[in-house]
Amino acid sequence: MDFKTLETEIEKLNQINVRANYTARRRYCETYRDIYEALLEMDRNGQITIEPGSKGLGYLRELLENDGPEFSYTVIFWEKDHPENKYKIGVCIRGIPICKKESAS
């Protein structure tokens, strides 16, 4: 997956109303999983940069599979050589996983 497609998928993810019904929530989780898997591949291929000092993407899988969304943890990433467009992916406290554009500080 290229970064432009990834951005499109993240935008699509954030347009899903998870409170609408079970089907919407399931679609959200499936889209999130697809984005996460693409990010793992992009990380292996050196297409993205992960914020220095973070535990990385693998830690998110541990939280999602073992601990559930009781912990809050996000990984900030961007397209290699383009740090002006940052995104974050993570697990929210007692909520659904998130993946969205990082707000400017």
Domain coordinates in residue numbering, the chain = 3-101
- Using CA of residue 25, residue 31, residue 35, residue 37, what is the dihedral sign? positive
Q: Give every CB contact of residue 9 below 8 A, 6+ residues apart in sequence.
A: 1, 31, 34, 35, 38
pLDDT of residue 69: 58
Segments of the chain with pLDDT less than 50 = none
Overall pTM > 0.75:
yes
Contact 28, 36 (CB under 8 A): no
| 100-to-57, 66, 90, 103 alpha-carbon distances in Å | 15, 23, 9, 9
